Amino acid sequence: MNETDVLTAFIEEGYQISPEAVDLICSHCTPRELVAYVLEHIDLSVLVIDVEHIDLEAFNSSLHVDEETFKLSEELSPEPDNSYSDSYDDPYDSSYSYQPSSMSSGFKSNYCNVDSPISVLSDITDNSTCVGEYMEFVQFFRNRYTRLSDIIRGRITARPIESLKKGKGTNFRGSREAGEVSIIGMISDMKSTSNGHKILEVEDPTGSFSVLIRSADKELYEQASHFVLDEVVGFTGTLTNDGNLMIAQKVTLPDLPAVNPKKTGSFGKAILTSDIHIGSNTFLEEPWDRFIDFLNGDTDNEALLAISKEIRYLLVAGDLVDGVGIYPGQEEELSIMDVYDQYKKAGEYFHMIPKHIKIIISPGNHDAVRQAEPQPRLPECIRDYFPDNVTFVGNPSIVDLDGVKVMLYHGRSIDDLVASVPGVSYGEPTKAMVEMMKFRHLSPIYGSRVSIAPEKRDYFVISNVPDILHCGHVHTVGVEWYKNVLLINSGTWQDQTEFQKRVNVVPTPAQVPVVDLETLKTTILKFNE
Ligand code: D5M
Ligand code: ZN
Ligand code: FE
């Protein structure tokens, strides 16, 4: 943090600060934490912050206490409640396969007259400012770095990289062992050496540094094999004699804290789906029609009928239609050639859904909004085809469903994670979502398959931890718990396409996760037979 950063941090909070106080903060080994501490403890009557308002002694001891408290709470926290993880009923339980009803009328939902509120907590819609200038990229990555490094900083005492450089790295205040030092950086390069070690180049706002991960250190090496470019990670280790390289001993991720399971306080059920691909000639119209019947209570299966009566929300995480011009030769695989006609057809389907079910639709890479993410909600001329119980949001977004927080992200970055991280595959999409949670970021890699717009704020950072992370895109259903966050990939309504045959993507179409909003137990309903 340089002088301007310190000055800006105080001005943004409405304070002035003397040059001496700025110097004092900048000369401290953890200026960012000191700024936060001063802001938190300043007397509201103070207008100009001076040296006398900065209680260094109290701050230094608070740093120590925080670090210890964190460790203690981590150790004392119970294992996450795994009773949930096997709780999602056997996904292939045939009792939940759809059966048509012989008596179609008279459906009465338990929640016909119950309000099912939606509040949108995070969404790029109407907030996009980016035009693609260089400084916007700087600001975008700085926002990511600041928010993720702040999480990590609660767990390790890190130094600015600049202070490690030769001649400056002699005073390792805050380190537990002599010579041990920590930094927090964004990974800008990863290489393997001829001896099989990894060399990472990591950057913070003050400089960059090389970090060695030795292959002999099996556990650390395994952890590092999950790293991808542009992630923010804390490294603790020792410096080589020339002061140019850190030999890492420990890495600290912004990972979720272990927290106690909690009741949501909500009730009813939410259906999670995505990748409907209306307009594609592989869109599975018959199973989809059965799904619409089910939402209307049109089934003889009592278990299914009971579920349909409980539904309050329906969430669609992108690729509502197949779109046009999305991939070469797509016109050969379309049943509806005009994108507006595709949305018109989608609108007709959504008009058939009971009005007490509140619907959320966010876009994906086949939808008619900008391809660069974060994507805003669908435009008004398309929204007009849909009934009033539909709320359109951007991709990604965070919504609150009467006390249950859901982060929706279409999941294009899963393509990047499958390509880069061992053990992450299209067949088990939630493994990619676990990586997102560990690194607290939905789409870290810049410049690969996901085109990222450098907005002022990095909307992909997971700072506000949701109860549910809902993705789609890969067309395979998956459900998994990770530290009390329910990870769901909601599959598709599209059969395998020619393109997917060529790249060996095997979809699990017409299977729909239903989440109980009180217990977050999940059941998968099948509509394909
Ligand atoms: O993507 C559906 C699935 O198909 C998803 O698993 C990725 C895969 N897919 C789509 N496009 C490509 C390319 N260009 N390369 C590799 N894999 C791909 P959807 O966005 O619904 O078409
Ligand atoms: Zn799709
Ligand atoms: Fe997609």
pLDDT tens column, 344-403:
999 999 999 999 999 999 999 999 999 999 999 999 999 999 999 999 999 999 999 999
Place of tokens 């927090």: 184
| Residue closest by Cα to atom 10 of ligand 1 | 500
The full DSSP string for 291-329 is HHHHHTT--S-HHHHHHHHHEEEEEEES--B--SSSSTT
Task: Report, as an integer, the average pLDDT of 91-118.
Answer: 66
Tens digit of pLDDT for each residue in 299-350?
888 989 999 999 999 999 999 999 999 988 899 999 999 999 999 999 999 9
Q: Distance (Å, rounded) from C-alpha 62 to C-alpha 143? A: 25
Nearest to 234 by CA among 171, 161, 139, 138: 161
| Residue closest by Cα to atom 7 of ligand 1 | 474
Tens digit of pLDDT for each residue in 441-465?
999 999 999 999 999 999 999 998 9
* Residue 366 alpha carbon, nearest atom of ligand 1: 20
* Lining residues, ligand 1, CB within 6 Å: 275, 319, 365-366, 415, 426, 473-475, 500, 503, 505
> What is the model's pLDDT at position 91?
33
> What is the model's pLDDT at position 75?
23
* Residue 412 alpha carbon, nearest atom of ligand 1: 20
Say yes or no to pLDDT of 74 above 60: no
Q: Describe the crossing of helices 134-153 and 31-41 by its angle, rounded to 10 degrees.
A: 80
| Ligand at shortest distance from the CA of 275 | 2
Contact status, residue 377 vs residue 393, Cβ threshold 8 Å: yes
pTM for the structure as a whole: 0.81
511: which strand partners? 526
Say yes or no to pLDDT of 80 above 60: no
Which structural domains are found in the chain, ordered by start?
3-62 (1.10.8), 85-100+121-130+267-526 (3.60.21.50), 134-252 (2.40.50.140)
In order of 57, 71, 152, 189, 518, the CA distances from 60 in angstroms are: 5, 18, 18, 34, 43
| Residue closest by Cα to atom 15 of ligand 1 | 503
Task: Report, as an integer, the average pLDDT of 224-240.
Answer: 97
> What is the model's pLDDT at position 315?
98
| Residue closest by Cα to atom 14 of ligand 1 | 327
Give the confidence band of 173 by pLDDT, cuts at 50, 70, 90. very low
Give the confidence band of 79 by pLDDT, cuts at 50, 70, 90. very low
> What is the model's pLDDT at position 65?
29
Nearest to 184 by CA among 246, 238, 249, 252: 252
| Residue closest by Cα to atom 19 of ligand 1 | 473
Please name the amino acid found at residue 427.
G
Which of 283, 503, 508 best tests ligand 1's pocket when mutated (most atoms within 8 Å of CB)? 503
Place of tokens 């700024």: 35
* Residue 500 alpha carbon, nearest atom of ligand 1: 4
**Alpha-carbon Rg for the chain in angstroms:** 25
Distance 474 CA to ligand 1 centre (A): 7
Distance 261 CA to ligand 2 centre (A): 32
| Residue closest by Cα to atom 9 of ligand 1 | 500
Q: How many CB atoms lie within 10 A of CB 23?
A: 13
Distance 509 CA to ligand 1 centre (A): 15
Give the confidence band of 48 by pLDDT, cuts at 50, 70, 90. confident
> What is the model's pLDDT at position 30?
63
